[in-house]
Structure 1
Amino acid sequence: MKATEARLTAALDRPPADIRLYLLHGPDESTAMAFAARLARALGEGAERIDLDGATLRSDPARLADEAAAISLFGEARHIRITTAGEESLEAVEGLLAAPAAGNPAVMIAPTVKATGKLVKAGIESDRVLAFACYPPDARNAAALVAELARGEGLRLIPAAAQRIARAADGDRAIMAREVEKLALYLDAAPDRPQEADEAALEAIGAELVDGEMGDVVLAATGGDVGPLLEALRGTGPDVSPIPILRALARRLTMLAELKQAMEGGEPAEQAMKRRGVFWKEQAATAAAVRRWTLPDLQAALMAARRTEREVMGAGPAGRVVADAFLLRLARRAKR
């Protein structure tokens, strides 16, 4: 069935026995991962998690139903997380829904499937599935989302503080939630003892990534400037989340690919950059980057950036190291 966010979060926090699958589709993979984490928290620290992906289900469709019906060796709670799922997972989902028993809930993250596709349709038509579309919030909705997350932690955020967290998170719900949690801990806030949070409190916990620093990282990585990249990474500080940087990088790689395609089609570089709103101070670096990259390499780099974002989310405290290593590899590739 199609779920509202309220219905989804209520089910994730207290999983009902009749829901076998939480189908999280749509392009905002970060939000989907945050929802998946809620299910894990609800089942407790000792819960066992089985990790599958779309490729595994394509080669072995029966695996999902088998894992859903399996009993943990030591009797702990158990759940299944499927990442990078696509339409190739349809047969596995159909098997799960048709199985006579399935005691372990599954959450499926399917960022590339369309809302009109067969996988989503199967989920909506079944009363054993909660299907929810995850889309990145726009600037206004992001600030409202931060305020909502803050209320759940016992914080009364002033509007400027909510907007600042939303900008720093670059629309990433997981980062918003983490910054709100940090702020609540700092102020000792809770639903039964609410506290007001202003920009001074945000300064104290460092909940912002300066746009200039993030831009320097992205420009250096795509321009093949290893030295400036290392300097820019040092400037961001050790506690800054790499997710906004990787997302900014993905946007730049997408723009470079569009410019490359336009210029190979005969459009003058200056006209192509003006039409896409390239900031005048970045036009020289952008033109140089377009000349440096081939279109297939840009497409491959974009896929790698998105894959690295998923790896960072799963790496915990080591995520920053994973991201920095990828950015350095990218810069060295661009330099060659």
Structure 2
Amino acid sequence: MTAVRPGDVEGLLRRGPDPRIAVILVYGPDTGLVAERARRLAESAVTDPADPFALVKLDGDTLAADPGRLVDEAGTVGLFGGQRAIWVRSGSRNYAPAVEAVLKGGSAATRIVVEAGDLAKSAPLRVLCERAAEALAIPCYPDDARSLADLIDGRLRDEGLRISREARETLAASLGGDRRASLGEIEKLALYARGQAEIELEDVEAIASDVSASALNTLVDAAFAGQVSEVERLYRRFQTEGLDASVMLGGALRHALTLLAMRLDGDGKSPSALVAGWRGLHFRRQKIVETHFARWSPEALRRAVTRLQEAVLACRRAGGVFAHALAADMLVRLALDAARRS
């Protein structure tokens, strides 16, 4: 088996994968973390990531239509020599045969990084890469407290900034559902604090969106528990108070990602056992989160994550009252879906 444990991923990224590895699959529910790690692995394999002859980017649907193309690209010698890498972005079709052909051909001279979505254990691509000695399968789940602290310190250090312990803990408490969203908040804070020696608590409170605040949790919990009228009431309240539509949807997305990650890691555990293993979950939320686990299967959560991601993007593009109309409709539809599962 060449599946990498979540706790071992950062160490592997720091030291670099074994050069004998031909294919590296990066997958999981945290799409921002999947994209970041795939980029790091692809770009670190070449001297100049901006050189399209050195770093070749392919679409999964293209490979599904022409499985032999990946073998051809892997065997191509660079125009000016040097190491090459191929970065495959996931599509809607099955391109596992293209990856299988590369593994059979043994093209380890070219690093192939496959950026995939949230793959089930039985997904052909995941099964293939976990079983092949020449491949790695790297999972990407929402950051825990330790990895969030490392992420905050590392990104701020790159900007020449330090952060106090209290400020770090407060910032970390508002992050964690999606790596891309977390990085956005950290970079926004770094921009705000530029010129300072150290970031303090008041800086975090001034700029960071506390997406895990208890008030927002009431809306998210109502949606995933199927409480349609409560969702409508709370949404109107938060809209009147000026809360951004994409922030409300972002809270729902992070919750769905966390539910999905715990569902997959729990491997058949009961809702009460899953709640007991949820570190940091407030005791007042435990009963309603049990309801979430009881009503939402991994497959249903995957669909919810996809719909929420699309809705967040649509809200950011629409803005204003149109964004609120989209967000309210999305959350009500989530609640109706949950109610049907009761």
Q: Is the pair's TM-score, using the shorter chain for normalization, greater than 0.5? A: yes
Which residue pairs with 2:222 in the alignment?
220
Q: What fraction of aligned residue pairs are identical, expressed as a percent?
A: 29
Provide the rounded CA distance (Å) in 2 between the counterparts of 1:33 and 1:8.
14
Shift of the 33–229 alpha-carbon distance from structure 1 to 2, 3 Å rule, reads: farther
Q: 1:108 aligns with which of 105, 115, 138?
A: 115
Deviations 1:238-286 (A, max 9, x none): 5637444223246569999x9xx989xxxxxxx9999899955885x78
Pair 1:247 & 2:254 matched:
yes
Provide the rounded CA distance (Å) in 1 between the counterparts of 2:191 and 2:163.
14
Asked if the contact 1:224/1:331 (under 8 Å) is kept, the reply is yes
CA offset at residue 117 of structure 1? 4.3
Provide the rounded CA distance (Å) in 2 between the counterparts of 1:102 and 1:220.
52
Where structure 1 has 5 or more consecutive residues not aligned to the other structure, the ranges are 72-76, 264-270
CA offset at residue 156 of structure 1? 0.6
Asked if the contact 2:22/2:107 (under 8 Å) is kept, the reply is no
Pair 1:94 & 2:94 matched:
no
Q: Quick one: which amino acid aligns to residue 303 of structure 2?
A: A
Which residue pairs with 2:88 in the alignment?
80
Q: Quick one: which amino acid aligns to residue 138 of structure 2?
A: F
Provide the rounded CA distance (Å) in 2 between the counterparts of 1:318 and 1:18.
44
CA offset at residue 196 of structure 1? 1.0
Q: 2:201 aligns with which of 186, 199, 202?
A: 199
Given the two structures, how large is their TM-score scaled by the length of structure 2? 0.62
Shift of the 28–319 alpha-carbon distance from structure 1 to 2, 3 Å rule, reads: farther
Aligned residues: 301
CA offset at residue 23 of structure 1? 1.9
Provide the rounded CA distance (Å) in 2 between the counterparts of 1:23 and 1:36.
8
Q: 1:327 aligns with which of 312, 331, 342?
A: 331
Asked if the contact 2:118/2:302 (under 8 Å) is kept, the reply is no
Pair 1:170 & 2:180 matched:
no
Provide the rounded CA distance (Å) in 1 between the counterparts of 2:298 and 2:64.
25
Shift of the 231–45 alpha-carbon distance from structure 1 to 2, 3 Å rule, reads: farther
Asked if the contact 2:175/2:212 (under 8 Å) is kept, the reply is no
Q: What is the Cα-based RMSD across aligned positions, in Å?
A: 5.4
CA offset at residue 93 of structure 1? 1.5
Structure possessing the higher relative contact order (Cα contacts under 8 Å, 6 or more residues apart): 2
Which residue pairs with 1:306 in the alignment?
305
Which residue pairs with 1:74 in the alignment?
none
CA offset at residue 159 of structure 1? 1.6
Equivalent runs, 1:1-336 vs 2, <5 Å: 5=10, 8=13, 21-25=23-27, 28-38=30-40, 43-44=49-50, 50-52=58-60, 61-62=67-68, 64-65=70-71, 79-82=87-90, 90-97=96-103, 98=105, 106-109=113-116, 111-112=118-119, 117-122=127-132, 125-126=133-134, 131-188=137-194, 195-221=197-223, 222-225=226-229, 226-231=231-236, 234=239, 235=241, 236-238=243-245, 240=247, 242-249=249-256, 279=283, 301-308=300-307, 311=310, 317-318=316-317, 325-333=329-337
Provide the rounded CA distance (Å) in 2 between the counterparts of 1:311 and 1:49.
23
